[in-house]
């Protein structure tokens, strides 16, 4: 339980740091947020509990494929915000688009040879 709390605290610190940097330097915060810190930490923690090269390879490859459906959200949101939509509507639309694209990836990815 202590390990879980430490992992959660670390993730919280990263998110808080991004928010604080973003108040003054939004582009720098975006750069930090775009780093695969969560993926790297997840891989380190996963390796610690299960040091299996094949398991890690599957995890890393699946992470790559699941990042792709999340990217269009980062284009839809600024488009909607610049069109005058509220932040919350743009965020909800971006999240909804991401969910739909994740479902499509899960449904059709394996059919075209993507291992998830």
How many structural domains does the chain have? Answer: 2
Looking at the fold, whether 68 and 29 belong to one and the same domain comes out as no
Looking at the fold, whether 29 and 45 belong to one and the same domain comes out as no
Looking at the fold, whether 13 and 62 belong to one and the same domain comes out as no
What pLDDT is attached to residue 109?
Answer: 94
pTM of the model: 0.81
Instruction: Please give the average pLDDT of every successive group of 10 residues along the chain, which has 116 residues.
Output: 86 92 94 89 93 96 94 98 98 98 96 90
Residue with tokens 């810190």: 37
Looking at the fold, whether 45 and 17 belong to one and the same domain comes out as no
Looking at the fold, whether 61 and 104 belong to one and the same domain comes out as yes
What pLDDT is attached to residue 7?
Answer: 84
Q: Exposed, middle or buried: residue 77 (CB in 10 Å: 0-12, 13-18, 19+)?
A: buried
What pLDDT is attached to residue 67?
Answer: 94
Range of the domain at 69: 37-116
Looking at the fold, whether 64 and 114 belong to one and the same domain comes out as yes
SS3 of 58, please?
helix
Looking at the fold, whether 28 and 42 belong to one and the same domain comes out as no
d(CA 103, CA 116) in angstroms, rounded, equals: 12
């Amino acid at each position: 339980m202590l390990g879980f709390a430490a992992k959660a605290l670390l993730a919280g610190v990263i998110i808080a740091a991004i928010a604080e940097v973003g108040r003054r330097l939004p582009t720098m915060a975006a750069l930090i947020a775009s780093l695969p810190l969560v993926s790297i930490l997840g891989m380190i923690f996963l390796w610690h509990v299960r040091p299996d090269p094949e398991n890690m390879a599957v995890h890393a490859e699946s992470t790559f494929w699941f990042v792709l459906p999340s990217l269009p959200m980062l284009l839809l949101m600024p488009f909607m915000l610049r069109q005058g939509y509220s932040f919350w509507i743009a965020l909800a639309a971006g999240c909804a688009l991401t969910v739909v694209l994740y479902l499509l990836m899960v449904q059709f990815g394996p059919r075209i040879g993507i291992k998830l």
